[in-house]
Amino acid sequence: MIRFEGVFKRYPNGREALSGVSFALEQGELAFLTGPSGAGKSTLLKLIALIERPTRGTVLVRNLNTARVPRRKIPAFRQRLGIVFQDHKLLHDRTVFDNVALPLVIAGFSHRDIGRRVRAALDQVGLLGREQHAPITLSTGEQQRVGIARAIVARPEVVIADEPTGNLDPELSLEVMQLFVRFNEVGVTVLIATHDHELIGQVPHHRRLILADGQIMADRAAAAALA
C-alpha cells in the first residue's frame, strides 16, 4: 500500500531529513512510526501526502508512483488519503458537521449522502449529536476526534496520522489509538507517527518502524512486538 525505495529528502536549507529510507506497508497493516523528534517522521508522512517530494528515491502510495502525480492531480490523489494532524487543522468558523463534511463536499457527494456519511463518521469517533457545535466549544480530545472523523469520512484505503495524540493526556491518547486500531480492523491501512513509547506499549501487536537521523534503525514486525 505504501512503499519507500531508497528515499532521500534534502530541504532547500541543506538539512537532510531522510537518508535512504526503504520499507513497505502492506494493505490492511497498521504501523507506528517512532523515533526522536527531528528524526524525519513528519517528512516521511509529508512525502506520502505529496506535501513534499523526495529528492531521490521512489515513494509509492496505493501502487502509484507519487513522482508521476503532477501538481494538478494532487487534489484527486489526496482525496483518497485520510490525513490526521497533531493540531487538528479544523476550520473554526464552521460547525463540526461542516468540518467533517468538507472532503465529501469536495468530492461532490449529494446532500443526502453527505449527511449520512458524516453522521456515521461522527458515530465512529463517539461524537454523534455534536454536529452543530463549533469546534472551539469542544475539548482538545474531542477536536482531535473531529479531525479523525474528517480523515475517515470519505472511506480512504490509507490513513496517515502525524502525532495524533501530541496534545492529549494519556487516557484520551489511548482512546484515539483504539480508534485507529478499529479502523485498521475493517481493512484500512494505517501509519501513525508518534514519539509516545508508553502509548505504543499499550496497543501492542502492531508493527513499529523506528526512525533516527533520517534512517530506519529498526523494523519490529507485529510478532516481535508481541514477544
Q: Which residues bind other proteins (CB under 8 A)?
A: 49, 51, 72, 75-81, 83, 85, 89-91, 93, 102-103, 106-108, 110-111, 150
Q: Which residue in 85, 91, 96 sits closest to 144, CA to CA?
A: 85
Q: Which is nearer to other proteins, 29 or 52 (CB)?
A: 52
Q: Could you tell me the smallest distance in angstroms from the CB atom of residue 79 to other proteins?
A: 3
Q: Could you tell me the smallest distance in angstroms from the CB atom of residue 39 to other proteins?
A: 18
136's CB contacts (< 8 A; 6+ apart) are 92
Q: Could you tell me the smallest distance in angstroms from the CB atom of residue 24 to other proteins?
A: 24
What's the full length of the chain, in residues? 227
Q: Which is nearer to other proteins, 98 or 213 (CB)?
A: 98
Q: Which is nearer to other proteins, 49 or 176 (CB)?
A: 49
Q: Which is nearer to other proteins, 81 or 176 (CB)?
A: 81
Q: Which residue in 225, 226, 207 sits closest to 216, CA to CA?
A: 207
Q: Could you tell me the smallest distance in angstroms from the CB atom of residue 11 to other proteins?
A: 11
Identity of the residue numbered 94: R
121's CB contacts (< 8 A; 6+ apart) are 100, 149, 150, 152, 153
Q: Could you tell me the smallest distance in angstroms from the CB atom of residue 77 to other proteins?
A: 8
Q: Which is nearer to other proteins, 78 or 195 (CB)?
A: 78
Query: In degrees rounded to 5, what are phi and psi of residue 191?
Result: -130, 120
Helices (H), 65-213: 74-79, 96-107, 111-124, 140-152, 170-185, 197-202
Q: Which is nearer to other proteins, 80 or 155 (CB)?
A: 80
Instruction: Compute the distance between CA of residue 20 and CA of residue 56 in angstroms, rounded to an integer.
Output: 8
Three cell numbers written together for 136? 472551539
Contact 156, 106 (CB under 8 A): no
Q: Could you tell me the smallest distance in angstroms from the CB atom of residue 72 to other proteins?
A: 7
How many CA atoms within 13 Å lie on the side-chain side of 120?
13
